[in-house]
Homo-oligomer: A and B are copies of this chain.
Amino acid sequence: MKTEVITITTGSVRGITDITRAADAFVRGEGDGLLSVFVPHATAGVAIIETGAGSDDDLMDILDELLPRSDRYRHRHGSVGHGADHVLPGIVAPSTVVPVVGGRLALGTWQSIVLVDPNADNPQRKIRFSFLAG
A: residues with CB less than 8 A from B are: 1, 3, 32-34, 36, 38-42, 47-50, 53-55, 57-59, 61-63, 66-67, 72-77, 83, 86-87, 89-99, 101, 106-111, 116, 126, 128, 130-134
Contact between A42 and B1, CB atoms less than 8 A apart: no
In the complex, chain B residues whose CB is within 8 Å of the CB of A47: 89-90, 93
Pairwise interchain contact A32-B1, C-beta atoms closer than 8 A: yes
Q: Is the CB of B91 within 8 A of A91?
A: yes
CB nearest neighbor in B for A59? B90
Q: How far is the CA of A40 from the CA of B49 in the complex (A)?
A: 10
Once the chains bind, are B53 and A75 in contact (CB under 8 Å)?
yes
